[in-house]
Amino acid sequence: MLIVMIHKAGPKQIEAVVKAVETMGLTAAPIPGSERTAIGVLGNKGYVDDTTIRDLPGVQEVIHVSKPYKLVSRDFHPRNTIVKVCGISIGEGKRPVVVAGPCAVEGEEQILKTARAVKKAGADLLRGGAFKPRTGPHTFQGMREEGLKLLAKAREATGLPIVTEVMSPDTVGLVAEYADLLQVGARNMQNFELLKELGRIQKPVLLKRGMSATIEEFLAAAEYILAEGNPHVILCERGIRTFETATRNTLDLAVVPLIREMSHLPVMVDPSHATGKRSLVAPMAKAALVAGAHGVLIEVHPEPDKALSDGPQSLTFHGFDLLMEEIRRLNAFLGVDDGGEKAP
């Protein structure tokens, strides 16, 4: 940690900062500069809460040499993490996976029909929401456990592993009984009690970035899960909230290569929620793969116009077939086609 003093800071103020640092059991090393003094803080293990320093008289700013996360950082864990979901490897050097399905499970026919269609088209995993976080209480909230059972049926019928959202600590056990990959939605990225609970199981977790979460906060949220003992975490960019209203969210695709630099965890992209517009899903899915995403989540519905949620961003079966065809060609071009490791 480095503490920068204002250029008028006197010896007394510097002394006070040094004392405060020492109170924290750390060492302070003042660095006199031509214009002002800075104070280096040594000996801390990991992140230091700077609130005891930041506002002392004469302090201009405090900058951190360490981050609020360690376990998820490539700095401390250089080797790539490969997350296995029912034998499917997700991560660096593996063929990117495609997770497909409806926003919400609406009934047996809908989910089975969709599962068979996306399986036929070549999807790797099946997604479908049983517990739905909705802005208001007066709209469809999901089929809950009944929905989980239908997902299990769809898995039996197709062999596709299941990805579904969990919304609260007390339902982690229930959802984990059915799901192969547990999803944490954007609204719950900082639901820390939920994250801790997920850290106590050993099933893989798909953590979506919060609507206004910085990359640092995103990685720190994943740290909660790893810190509790569950290393099987996949990160997912799904668009952030900005002033732009022409798209549902703003897909921040640059975080894909950035996260690959900062962390060893796999990173996926959800172009359906990010754009909210069917016609933008395919171009953004392909862009995500070229940017280095380890997988994409695509919303597919038998009849998007009748979907109980997210119809406008859901692909039809035909639209999904076309996208999968493009993705296969793209993977071949990128040298990450079936089974293949990335070319050197």
Residue 288: both structure tokens together: 């995500």
**Looking at beta carbons only, is 157 or 215 nearer to a second copy?**
215
Of 11, 87, 305, 339, the one binding a second copy (CB under 8 A) is 305
| 155 vs 223, beta carbon nearer a second copy | 223
| Contact status: 168 vs a second copy (CB under 8 A) | yes
Q: Compute the least distance from the CB of residue 87 to a second copy, in Å.
A: 29
Shorter beta-carbon distance to a second copy: residue 79 or 135: 135
- CB of 202 or CB of 214, closer to a second copy: 214
Closer to a second copy by CB, 140 or 341: give it.
140
Q: How far apart are the first and last CA of the chain?
A: 39
**Cα 165 from Cα 183, distance rounded (Å):** 4
Rule CB under 8 A: choose which of 10, 15, 22, 75 binds a second copy.
75
Q: Which residue, 117 or 194, is less far from a second copy as judged by CB? A: 194
Is residue 39 within 8 A of residue 5, CB to CB? The reply is yes
261 by Cβ neighbours in 10 Å (0-12 / 13-18 / 19+) ranks as: exposed
Q: Does 55 bind a second copy (CB under 8 A)?
A: yes
Alpha-carbon separation of residue 14 from 57, 62, 67, 245, 289 (angstroms): 9, 14, 25, 48, 51
d(CA 77, CA 323): 35
Stretch that binds a second copy, among 119-127, 155-163, 187-195, 317-325 (CB under 8 A): 187-195
Q: Is residue 122 involved in binding a second copy (CB under 8 A)? A: no
Nearest in space to 269 (alpha carbons), one of 255, 278, 261, 231: 255
> For residue 46, with 0-12 CB atoms within 10 Å meaning exposed, 13-18 middle and 19 or more buried, which class applies?
exposed
Spatial contact of 249 and 273, defined as CB atoms under 8 Å apart: yes
Cβ proximity to a second copy, 19 vs 84, nearer residue:
19
Shortest Å distance, C-beta 83 to a second copy: 20
CA separation for the pair 174, 138 (Å, rounded): 25
229: contact with a second copy by CB under 8 A: no
Among 15, 22, 192, 200, interactor with a second copy by CB under 8 A: 192
Q: State residue 337 phi and psi, 5-degree precision.
A: -75, 180
Residues numbered 308 to 327 that lie near a second copy (CB under 8 A) are 308-313
Q: Minimum CB separation from a second copy for residue 261, in Å?
A: 6
**Span interacting with a second copy, options 81-89, 108-116, 118-126, 238-246, rule CB under 8 A:** 238-246
Q: Does residue number 90 form part of the binding site for a second copy (CB under 8 A)?
A: no
- Distance (Å, whole) CA 237 – CA 162: 19
167 binds a second copy (CB under 8 A): yes
Task: Please report, as residue ranges, which positions from 8 to 37 form the binding site for a second copy (by CB under 8 A).
Answer: 8, 20, 23, 27, 29, 31, 33-36
- The first and second tokens of residue 48, run together, are 């230091």
Task: Classify residue 338 as exposed, middle or buried by CB count within 10 Å of its CB (0-12, 13-18, 19+).
Answer: exposed
Residue 136 binds a second copy, judged by CB under 8 A: yes
Q: Which residue has the tokens 């933008």?
A: 280
**Total of chain residues touching a second copy, rule CB under 8 A:** 114
Q: Which residue has the tokens 């961003």?
A: 313
Comparing CB distances to a second copy, the nearer of 14 and 251 is: 251
Q: Which among 60-68, 92-100, 108-116, 151-159 is the span making contact with a second copy, rule CB under 8 A?
A: 60-68
Q: Pattern 241-280, binding to a second copy, x per CB under 8 A?
A: xxxxxxx--xxxxxxxxx--x------------xx-xxxx
Q: How far apart, in whole angstroms, are the C-alpha atoms of residue 189 and residue 294?
A: 20
